[in-house]
Amino acid sequence: MIEQSASFTQRLRAIVGDDGLLTDPQQLRLYMYDGSIERALPLAVVLPRTPEQVAALVRLCHAEGVFLTPRGAGTGLSGGSIPLCGGVVLSLARMKAILSVDTENQMATVEPGLVNLDLTRHVSPKGFQYVPDPSSQGACTIGGNVAENSGGPHTLTGGVTTNHVLELQLVLADGTQVSVGSQAPDPPGPDLVGVVCGSEGTIAIVTRIVCRIVRKAECVRTMLAAFDSCRAASEAVSAVIASGIVPTAMEMMDHPALSAIEAFSHAGYPVDAGAVLLLELEALREEVEDAAPRVVEICRAGGASEVRVARNEEEREALWKGRKKAFGAMGRIGPSYYVQDGVIPRTRLPEVLDRVEEAARKVGLRVANVFHAGDGNLHPLILFDDHDPDQAKRAIAAGEEILRACVEAGGSITGEHGVGMEKRDYMGLQFSEATLAAFTAFRDACDPGHTLNPYKLLPSGLGCAEGGKRQKTLTQMQALAERNAAIGEAY
């Protein structure tokens, strides 16, 4: 076994070179984590520099039946890049080049390890931006965004990652390199780019991305409105939409979140408010000047005690600063947090927020809410002490209760963080057995050995319900997991 593992390591090294392979346990520990509460140790980490190296690595792991977990920046919040069964972590961090920018066609070709914000920074002097802006955009990668189909505060009108990807170069599970999509609109046949986006690294590894860049809007206006309660703020959100105005962002923060954020980033938020709405309008100057006073009016009519409009870019950035750093600020009010990502139809916000509150109260924990109110994407942060196993258990129980409430309100268990390993067993809340079977059949068709990011996205126990074929796959996977563990032990 030792001999075999040594030769496997040598073969990894032959592909990526000495500096592209990590096997020192100290270094490997850095790859145990992502932004979720899960962790697991890989047996090796590889850092390829070219699509060809990625393909060779995938071919090797495919042939040897060794699990492969792709990883961007490790900022994911659902455990998607955790090497659950050991195996190899394939970090795309070194493939971070901007290969070309084509302003005439409004597109850029980038490598997957490019940090999201670096693309906008690069094209900004030419007046362009890359629209999807997850709060972690200063660290997360575009490849990771494609895997998770990430959103952000500005997706209400701008759309999520999938709406900004035109073409993808992929390495499939057997190591073949292909591309899907087109730089020309509406290529014939099914929308395969759309199928790959959000597949969480389970059907292919993305090695190159052609994404849309757009001209920055002529005028942006950001405003903050303070309300007595989340209910009042939620109703204001619906009232704005009903008036025919669709802001580019509508973010809500509740009272517990506000105090934490203010203590952390001194953004100047009104800490005594029950809830705050951060609204942004982005359009032609005339349109913004016409709509902004109407939004202010609607908020006041909805009971806003204060409405503040940013007068310049500095004030605008200050208003956003607090929101973008909100998750990090939670350390001010609790040792740790467990964040959920359920989505509901916007009109159901008031009642579901009540249920969120109740779910936390029932298990004796506090909850802070920071979320995308415009598209009904909740982010309840359940505060707990991660050194206390009982509290952790209670936090998870409250999280499940919240997801149940979202699904019952006609929504989804995840809006932008992905299923990963964290929510795979909640998939059954949202999807029927028949739909889950279709997902599984697709996964099996793309990667029969489940080598790529195993045990993610699909319910862990699904196989048992399905009998024959799947059982066999599970048995094979069990054997593979043991083999992976054995290779790991050889170190």
Partner 1 sequence: MDVMERLRPESYDEAARVLNEAAARGNVAIVGGGSREAWFPPAREPVAVLESSALRGIVRYTPADLTICARAGTPLAELGEVLGRERQRLPLDPWPQGSVGGVIASNDNGPLRTRWGGVRDMLIGVRVALPNGQVVRFGGDVVKNVAGYDLTKGYVGSAGAFGLIVEATFKVQPQPVRSACAALSGTLEGLGAAWRALRERALPFAALEVVRDQSRWRLYALAEGDEVVVERLLRECMEAARSAGCTLEQAACSDVVEWAHKPAAASVWLRIGVPPARTADVLRALPQELAAIARPWVGIVDVCGDALDAATAELILRRALDAHGHAHLRRAPSALRLQLGWWRMERGGGGAALFPMLKNALDPGHCCNTGRTVYDCTGPGAAASPQRAADI
Stretch binding partner 1 (CB under 8 A), from 16-24, 241-249, 310-318, 387-395: 241-249
Q: Which is nearer to partner 1, 167 or 280 (CB)?
A: 167
- Closest by CA position to 307, among listed 237, 225, 388, 373: 225
**Tokens read off for 202:** 């389970």
Chain centre distance of CA 105: 28
Contacts to partner 1 from residues 114-173, by CB under 8 A: 148-149, 151, 155-156, 159-160, 162-163, 167-170, 172
Contacts to partner 1 from residues 358-417, by CB under 8 A: 372, 375-377, 410-417
- Closest by CA position to 227, among listed 272, 281, 280: 272
Burial of residue 246 (number of CB atoms within 10 Å: 0-12, 13-18, 19+):
middle
> What H or E segment, with its residue span, contains residue 75?
none
CB of 25 to partner 1, least distance (A): 34
Out of 63, 445, 464, 465, the only residue in the binding site for partner 1 (CB under 8 A) is: 445
Out of 27, 105, 471, 475, the only residue in the binding site for partner 1 (CB under 8 A) is: 105
- Residues paired with 382 in a beta bridge: 338, 367
Contacts to partner 1 from residues 44-63, by CB under 8 A: 51
Q: Which x/- pattern over 268-307 shows residues binding partner 1 (rule: CB under 8 A)?
A: ---------------xx-xx-xxx----------------
Q: Which is nearer to partner 1, 151 or 454 (CB)?
A: 151
CB of 214 to partner 1, least distance (A): 7
Using CB under 8 A as the binding rule, whether residue 350 contacts partner 1 is answered as no
User: CA-CA-CA-CA torsion for 56, 57, 60, 66, nearest 10 degrees?
Assistant: -160
CB of 267 to partner 1, least distance (A): 25
Q: What residues have CB less than 8 Å from 45, skipping those under 6 apart? A: 21, 22, 23, 27, 28, 31, 88, 89, 90, 91
Using CB under 8 A as the binding rule, whether residue 460 contacts partner 1 is answered as no
Distance CA 210, CA 107 (A): 7
Stretch binding partner 1 (CB under 8 A), from 42-50, 206-214, 223-231, 469-477: 206-214
Using CB under 8 A as the binding rule, whether residue 438 contacts partner 1 is answered as yes
Using CB under 8 A as the binding rule, whether residue 465 contacts partner 1 is answered as no
Out of 140, 343, 352, 365, the only residue in the binding site for partner 1 (CB under 8 A) is: 343
> How far apart are the two ends of the chain, measured CA to CA in Å?
11
Q: Which is nearer to partner 1, 86 or 415 (CB)?
A: 415
Distance CA 72, CA 37 (A): 17
Contacts to partner 1 from residues 245-264, by CB under 8 A: 246
CB of 440 to partner 1, least distance (A): 8
Per DSSP bridges, beta strands 88-91 and 68-71 are: parallel
